[in-house]
Structure 1
């Protein structure tokens, strides 16, 4: 095991981030820093079976725990999971992982922790809550107490801090902005996405990475991934540019609605597809700039300051900054 001469004074959270493509785990210190060499990743996915998913989750938890420096201690396990979730019962039903419906994620991770000799709290929250706590702690939302964090990736998630306190709601799904409805028109055309769980007007149906690519392919784009769409956008492909503009407008409308409801000051956005082009943020901001309420126009939309580490830092915040949770 690694040796760290100052580790005896350190308490680490074992952070777990579960999403529609992958699950990751790492050790995170009380300053929001990942322990070098402790980050591990395994696949999840739409076709993964329950045993395969358990193997992936258990595998990254065990590997991260094995990275604990000598003399240090793990004080809790924080899990940020794609939603929806059942906070009270510790269940998850990730929309893009259909074999897990009401799966007892908290109990399963607790059993792995017990196997490793860890008698510590295991806390489960929606991934959007975790990423928002990360941005508020060490990211783009430091010092701002009315914040929404968002992830635009395989799906679209979100979380809320209002008045300096995390808002989870009774089930843990407050902030699940990917399934608000934003259907209207874009450039004189109906703003409608793929049929996502029966609702083609949900934000995720129009603006997630895979759904944006699917729309572009319906209109002549020949690529298959978000990375290819981003490259086509940079090369000036007209369909790719319309796809990104359409996605940016949809996200901007959702943010405007959330701000009108909650009087937000800042929205911090991460996730793989959010990096497709800086212009994506410009399209969102244009929607906000034209809103009729000044208090909505005040909201700032910024990229995450935490890169790909944000979800893990957020999962650790469920332990290290538990005082913000209800």
Structure 2
């Protein structure tokens, strides 16, 4: 049994997950994102308490923590953009101090997008694939790599942060401070902004969101279709670049924007054929993610499980 914590801007979720990747018990509390460090830490502790009340807790061998980033796996710290009180916050140390954790398990930290890659490789659309890129396309764009059959988080845990590679040197400014990043074209925010710029307006009483643009695109609105095509082209360039550099076989796309379905995936596959032209790169395929809201939890458990297996192998 593995304990998993998934920390985001709106909720802190926890689960007990067995060796087959099945969620046995679940707990969840709203994230007090604008409150104090102690209030946030207390909420994480409360989720752990709720899990520990379940009989299966006695079988927990390790704990994984997926968090919105940036994260620093080496230092065990997190600085989530959407949780202002946590800046270089020692999350692993805080969780380890919980009386039910300290003597039982060693927490393993990873970023939420890397957790998604771990989850999809263990139980989802990248299962059985030796080399894959898994992307979360939502308010932002993140990602994680599986290389030679193993998760590749990098020294700090931020490898695969594909939303912030440049696909247009003269492109629009990105929130990270650079220009022409994938995120500036492909995120849900960017899709909605571009559709509005083209003259599209949401239905009365609705906000301009990527989901609303997707509805309009399915109805044939050319401006909405153009906004998704622009997003798909940026994603295709990033995937083709990854295929060229790392010979990935599969790119898995998840997150809220991926819920647009064929509105996104049809132009994405078309543009990919134009970017991935070298013999060793052109066979990369795109798949929708198989795990939705549980990806962070399952990925955190996958990382914890891998830590246990590595320890056993070393012994």
Fold-level similarity (TM above 0.5)? yes
Q: Deviation of residue 50 (structure 1)?
A: 3.5
Structure 1 match to 2:30:
42
Q: Deviation of residue 146 (structure 1)?
A: 0.7
1:61 lines up with 2:48 in the alignment: yes
**Is the contact made by 1:62 and 1:116 (CA closer than 8 Å) also made in structure 2?**
no
Structure 1 match to 2:239:
255
Across the two proteins, how many residue pairs are aligned to each other? 305
Normalised TM-score (structure 2): 0.87
Structure 1 match to 2:166:
181
Give unmatched runs, 5+ long, in structure 2. Answer: none
Give unmatched runs, 5+ long, in structure 1. Answer: 1-11, 185-189
Q: For the structure 1 residues 177 and 40, does the alpha-carbon distance in structure 2 shift closer, same or farther, using more than 3 Å as the test? A: same
Give distance in 2, aligned partners of 1:182 and 1:100.
Answer: 31
**Is 136-145 or 282-291 further displaced after alignment?**
282-291
Helix, strand or coil at the partner of 2:60: strand
1:104 lines up with 2:90 in the alignment: yes
**Is the contact made by 2:117 and 2:143 (CA closer than 8 Å) also made in structure 1?**
yes
Partner deviation per Cα, 1:10-29 (whole Å, 9 max, x = no partner)? xx211112234433221111
Q: Deviation of residue 229 (structure 1)?
A: 2.4
Structure 2 match to 1:320:
305
**Is the contact made by 1:249 and 1:287 (CA closer than 8 Å) also made in structure 2?**
yes
Q: Deviation of residue 70 (structure 1)?
A: 5.4
Partner deviation per Cα, 1:169-213 (whole Å, 9 max, x = no partner)? 2212111111111126xxxxx7x4453121241112221222322
Q: Deviation of residue 314 (structure 1)?
A: 0.6
Helix, strand or coil at the partner of 1:143: coil
Structure 1 match to 2:140:
155
Normalised TM-score (structure 1): 0.84
Q: Deviation of residue 55 (structure 1)?
A: 4.4
Q: Deviation of residue 75 (structure 1)?
A: 1.6
Q: For the structure 1 residues 271 and 41, does the alpha-carbon distance in structure 2 shift closer, same or farther, using more than 3 Å as the test? A: farther
Structure 2 match to 1:23:
12
Q: Deviation of residue 163 (structure 1)?
A: 1.0
Q: For the structure 1 residues 110 and 198, does the alpha-carbon distance in structure 2 shift closer, same or farther, using more than 3 Å as the test? A: same
**Is the contact made by 1:252 and 1:285 (CA closer than 8 Å) also made in structure 2?**
yes
Give distance in 1, aligned partners of 2:198 and 2:59.
Answer: 54
Query: What RMSD in Å do the two structures reach over aligned CA positions?
Result: 2.6
**Is the contact made by 1:27 and 1:64 (CA closer than 8 Å) also made in structure 2?**
yes
**Is the contact made by 2:174 and 2:183 (CA closer than 8 Å) also made in structure 1?**
no
Give distance in 1, aligned partners of 2:87 and 2:158.
Answer: 15
Helix, strand or coil at the partner of 1:233: helix
Equivalent residue runs for 1:107-118 within 5 Å: 107-112=93-98, 114=99
Give distance in 1, aligned partners of 2:56 and 2:155.
Answer: 39
Q: Deviation of residue 265 (structure 1)?
A: 0.6
Q: Deviation of residue 263 (structure 1)?
A: 0.5
Helix, strand or coil at the partner of 1:77: strand
Give distance in 1, aligned partners of 2:102 and 2:305.
Answer: 20
Helix, strand or coil at the partner of 1:239: helix
Give distance in 1, aligned partners of 2:175 and 2:18.
Answer: 38
Structure 2 match to 1:77:
63
Q: For the structure 1 residues 182 and 13, does the alpha-carbon distance in structure 2 shift closer, same or farther, using more than 3 Å as the test? A: same
**Is the contact made by 1:200 and 1:206 (CA closer than 8 Å) also made in structure 2?**
no
1:216 lines up with 2:204 in the alignment: no
Q: For the structure 1 residues 72 and 216, does the alpha-carbon distance in structure 2 shift closer, same or farther, using more than 3 Å as the test? A: same
Give distance in 2, aligned partners of 1:152 and 1:320.
Answer: 26
Give distance in 1, aligned partners of 2:163 and 2:13.
Answer: 22
Q: For the structure 1 residues 250 and 160, does the alpha-carbon distance in structure 2 shift closer, same or farther, using more than 3 Å as the test? A: same
Q: For the structure 1 residues 173 and 116, does the alpha-carbon distance in structure 2 shift closer, same or farther, using more than 3 Å as the test? A: closer
**Is the contact made by 1:180 and 1:254 (CA closer than 8 Å) also made in structure 2?**
yes
**Is the contact made by 1:23 and 1:57 (CA closer than 8 Å) also made in structure 2?**
yes
Q: Deviation of residue 110 (structure 1)?
A: 2.0
**Is the contact made by 2:5 and 2:12 (CA closer than 8 Å) also made in structure 1?**
yes
